[in-house]
Structure 1
Amino acid sequence: MASDAVTLITNDHRIMEQLFERLRSGTGDRQLLLDECAARLTAHSHAEEQKVYPVLAELDPQAQEEAHHGADEHHEAERLLHDLQRISPQGPQFEDRLEDFIAAVRRHQEHEETAMLPKLHASLTPEQLTQMGSAFEEVRIAELAVAGIRV
């Protein structure tokens, strides 16, 4: 199942976008959807911060700053999500806070997909990207398993 890191990270982004659409539609259990968002965001963030960002930081000084920025964006998204989880999905503030969370995650995804991932793709061999993908996936799957999500 392993693939290259760029593909795996991008696939994770698309899964989050599907969850956002389900949350926005109001169908299904929004609290369960938020819990899944939290598990997936945490797993993705930890995998990137442990297995992808250190390699990115070694590529050049600007990439090191991008790695720190990416970690900061993860923390901001997690904070917004935790705020969202503390309010009722039927409450008057839910929709606005949901949009704030989605916007933060999308900004991060766009930054990764336009700056960070292309830099990885251009700087590493296909074999290195596959090795990084395996390491990323190992952390991500272990984190998801802790949250009770099977991949």
Structure 2
Amino acid sequence: MGHGGDVIAELTTDHQEVEDFFKNIQALPVGDPRRKHYADKATIELVRHSVAEEAYLYPAVREHLPEGDALADKELEDHAAAEQIMKDLEGCDADDPRFNELINKLMTDIRAHVTDEETNLFPRLRAMCSAETLAELGDKVRTAKKTAPTRPHPSAPDKPPANKLLAPGVGLVDRLRDMMSGRGKDS
């Protein structure tokens, strides 16, 4: 959830957590119900991570980087595509024939997105922003993840101010649903 450090350290640690969930999925045989459990955990982390990036990282990219608007728009497109895959996955059990196809697509897309952020976007942001700005963004991202939704909502706004206003309420409903169903909890 919250790891500490500047925004780049925070988001990079999130990336590693999601990769660990992906590796757990890949280590299990197709149809194993634990694949769904790890897919749910990955989705929870990805949605919270995405909401925080959309609220704070991408506005900073627009503000601080040359061609920041184009970069942020591309990242938002990546998020929208991944969110739709996660929404489709939500309705599949591990033994559903579509599950394997969808989870493989999600893993491929997220890994490409992470590679792009870590090799392109993050170094550029670090070069253009002060350590203080990056630390403040890290704090904002950590705070946003605490109240962010945990389920995909493809039609929800992805740009401020609407996303910042709606995310906490949607997040509350998602966390209540998760608590009632046990979704994302370790057995």
Same fold per superposition (TM over 0.5): yes
- Cα distance in 1 for partners of 2:46, 2:125 equals 21
- Cα distance in 2 for partners of 1:126, 1:113 equals 17
Instruction: Tell me the residue number matched to 1:9.
Output: 11
1:100 partnered with 2:100: no
Q: How many residues align structurally?
A: 150
Instruction: Tell me the residue number matched to 1:57.
Output: 62
Instruction: Tell me the residue number matched to 2:139.
Output: 134
Could you tell me which of 40, 46, 67 is aligned with 1:41?
46
Give the drift of 1:7.
Answer: 0.4
Structure 1's unaligned 5+ residue stretches are none
Give the drift of 1:28.
Answer: 6.2
Q: Percent identity?
A: 25
Instruction: Tell me the residue number matched to 1:118.
Output: 123
**CA distances 1:44-93 after superposition (whole Å, capped 9, x unpaired):** 01100101110110124412211111111011111112222322311333
Give the drift of 1:96.
Answer: 2.5
- Cα distance in 2 for partners of 1:2, 1:9 equals 10
- Structure 1 residue runs of 4+, over 4 Å off? none
User: What is the aligned-residue RMSD (CA, Å)?
Assistant: 2.1
Instruction: Tell me the residue number matched to 2:154.
Output: none
Higher relative contact order (CA closer than 8 Å, sequence separation 6+): 1
- Cα distance in 2 for partners of 1:99, 1:66 equals 25
TM-score under structure 1 length normalisation: 0.88
- Please identify which structure carries the higher helix content: 1
- Cα distance in 2 for partners of 1:116, 1:60 equals 9
Instruction: Tell me the residue number matched to 1:30.
Output: 35
Structure 2's unaligned 5+ residue stretches are 151-170
Q: For the Cα contact (< 8 Å) 1:48–1:136, is it kept in 2?
A: yes
TM-score under structure 2 length normalisation: 0.73
